[in-house]
Structures are given as structure tokens and as C-alpha cells.
Structure 1
Amino acid sequence: MNRFTKILEKNTSGKKVLGLFILTNVVYLFMLFVTIPKTMGFSSGMKLLDMLPTGYNQDYVNELFKTLGKNGREIYLTNQIPVDMIYPLLFGLTYSLLLAYFLKKLNKLKSPFSHLCILPIIAGIADYLENIGIITMLNSYPDLTKTMVNTTNIFSIIKSTSTSVFFITLIVILIILGIKFTKKK
């Protein structure tokens, strides 16, 4: 058993996973209902960069930042981004342990399936790199370079892709767990 699997197995108690799940989703709901709407109040309906799973280009970033105006860019930088610097850690940790918890229930945690638990960690790291790119662009505006935008966009796409693959994986594992539970009855 590798070190990563040992760490997962050691930290998959139901209480710990549930506590982290609740905390992570409280932070997520705070972003969803407070900081994102507050920032989008300046965007005239344009989506924030964090909310574009298929990515964006330099024209979109310029238009968004122009539409946000000085106050909107400041709110993005001082309200949304600080909360979004907490969330990736919680997301990566919580959902990695949640997946490990369900894999353990299927007796698959000590198998190659444990590597699936890396997906939320990849998403979390990509989210941090996306946030750093957004901070850099907000601080550099209006002097945005194509490299700056393209690099941040790549991290946005990696974040959304790894998050999507994770949730599909989680759904499949929950279905398998449900089938196993139903067959036992």
C-alpha cells in the first residue's frame, strides 16, 4: 500500500468526512450566494472567469474587466478571490477523502482505484493557479498579455475538466455502492 493510500485510509472516518463536507459546502454556498453575486453586480450579466468551464479568451477578459469597472475589479480582488483561496484546499481535501470513504466501503481503496482520489487535488491545485492568474490579470489590467490570459485559461479548463471527471467518477461509485447495498438486502 502506498503512502497516499495510507493517508487516505487513516482519514476516512465518517465524522471527519462529513464535517469537512459540511464546511466545504458552507464556504461554497457563501461564494455562490454572497461573493459571486456581489462581484457580478458590476458585470452586467457577464460570467466571472471562475465560472467559465470551457474557458475564455483575451477579448472576453478585457470586456469583463472593462464592464466590472474599477469598483467591480476591486470587489473581485478583495471579496471573491480571498474566499476562493480557501475553497480549493477544502475541495481537494474533502472530495479526495469522500471518494476514499466510498472506495473503502467497496473494498477498493487498496487498489489502483485509490488513484482516482487525486482528481479533486488536481482540481484544487488548478483552482489555485487559476486564482493566481486572475489576481495577476486584475492587478495588471488594462495591460493584459496574451500569455497571461492563455495560461490562466488553461488552469481554468484543467480545473473544470478534473472537477467534472471527479463528479462523474463519484456518481459511478455511488451507483455501484447502491447496487451492492441493494443486492445485500
Structure 2
Amino acid sequence: MINLIKIIENNISGKKVFWLFMVTNLVYGFMLMVTIPKTMAFSNGMKLLDMMPTGYNFLYVNKLFGSLGDVGRETYLTSQIPVDMFYPLLFSVSYCLVMAYFLKKINKLHTPFMYLCLLPVIAGIADYLENIGIISMLNNYPDITETAVQTTSIFSVIKSISTSIYFITLIALLLLFGIKIVKKTSSTI
């Protein structure tokens, strides 16, 4: 854990955190505006597996993959998934450093709160495992198994839960940071 703290401390300068955050969100924006709509154009309005925070079942996956057709499944594999193989790493690193940056600002970096920085790492790992599952199912369709669907769905849910907990925690942290600034400002008046 000490090595992790050192790595994080060496990388939480405001500029570095800002630029990583910007690149991460540009990639996310690209997925939301380009690769996901490009793939969903073949889905007859069905959500892609990446976009289902509560998971999915065997029937849904078969219906989605059938709706996508050959071209849509190929688009999923060659358009959406490649971009989504960069995003989890960017998300993990960027949002870990964002959390650490604000923990440092409220003097909580060297406390058990430091473990909160691992939430985006957990989300990123789950996202990679979800992507691997989706790739496997797309490549094996129509011969996908209930086990493959359930396992991939579990990773989708883990990604969603850890991401949600992260953002709730980050909002609370930003509120604490705001209170600290207000107190500091009011004490100098």
C-alpha cells in the first residue's frame, strides 16, 4: 500500500490530474457520441450490454445480438469494443488521481480514506472483464452459453456499482472541500 501511495502522490499535480481527466472524458464523449450510436443503429432501440448497469440475461443477449445482425455485431466488435479497451485504463488512472487530489486537499490522503482511490480501479478491471465477455459472446454467437452471459453480466453490475459508489463518494468529498474553502475564506475576513 505504501508504494501505491507514493505512486499516487507523485502524480497528483493539478495539471496532470486535469489533463488526464480531460483525455478520459474526451474518449468517453467519443464513445457516447460516435461508437455507441454507430453500433446502436443496428440494435432496433435495444441497449448495448456496456450500457446496462443492472445487468442482463441470456434471452436479452440473444435478442440483442439477433437484432444487431452480422453487420451490427461486427460494428460492436470493431468500433465500440476497441475504444472501450482504452477507456477503462484511462478511467481507472484518472479518477483514482482525482480522488487522491481532493483527499490531499482536505488532508485525508494518508488515512484509510485512501482506499477510496481503488474504486475506479475496481470499476476498470470489471469493465475489462465485461469487454472480454462481450467479445467472447460476439465471436461465439449464436453458440453462447448461459454461464458466459451470467458471468459477463456480473462484471457489468460490479462496474456499475463501483462507479456509482465512486461518484457518490466524490460528490461528498467535493462538498467537504467546498466547506473547507468557505471556512478558510470566512476566517480571513
- The residue number in structure 1 matching 2:69 is 69
Cα deviations across residues 46-100 of structure 1 (Å, max 9, x unaligned)? 0000000000000000000000000000000000000000000000000000000
Counterpart Cα distance in 2 of 1:23 and 1:96: 14
Which amino acid in the other structure matches residue 91 of structure 1?
Answer: F
Question: Where does 1:51-70 land on structure 2 (aligned, <5 Å)?
Answer: 51-70=51-70
Q: Aligned pairs, how many?
A: 185
Q: How far is the alpha carbon of 1:6 from its aligned partner?
A: 1.3
Cα deviations across residues 9-57 of structure 1 (Å, max 9, x unaligned)? 1110001000100100110000000000000000011000000000000
Counterpart Cα distance in 2 of 1:182 and 1:107: 16
* Unaligned runs of at least 5 residues, structure 2: none
Cα root mean square deviation, aligned: 0.7
Which amino acid in the other structure matches residue 17 of structure 1?
Answer: V
Counterpart Cα distance in 1 of 2:5 and 2:170: 17
- Is 1:172 equivalent to 2:175 in the alignment? no
The percentage of counterpart residues that share the same residue type is 68
Which amino acid in the other structure matches residue 127 of structure 1?
Answer: D
* Unaligned runs of at least 5 residues, structure 1: none
Secondary structure in 1 matching 2:151: helix
Question: Where does 1:1-150 land on structure 2 (aligned, <5 Å)?
Answer: 2-150=2-150
Secondary structure in 1 matching 2:178: helix
Q: How far is the alpha carbon of 1:7 from its aligned partner?
A: 1.1
Secondary structure in 1 matching 2:25: helix
Counterpart Cα distance in 1 of 2:174 and 2:30: 27
Which amino acid in the other structure matches residue 15 of structure 1?
Answer: K
Counterpart Cα distance in 2 of 1:62 and 1:26: 31
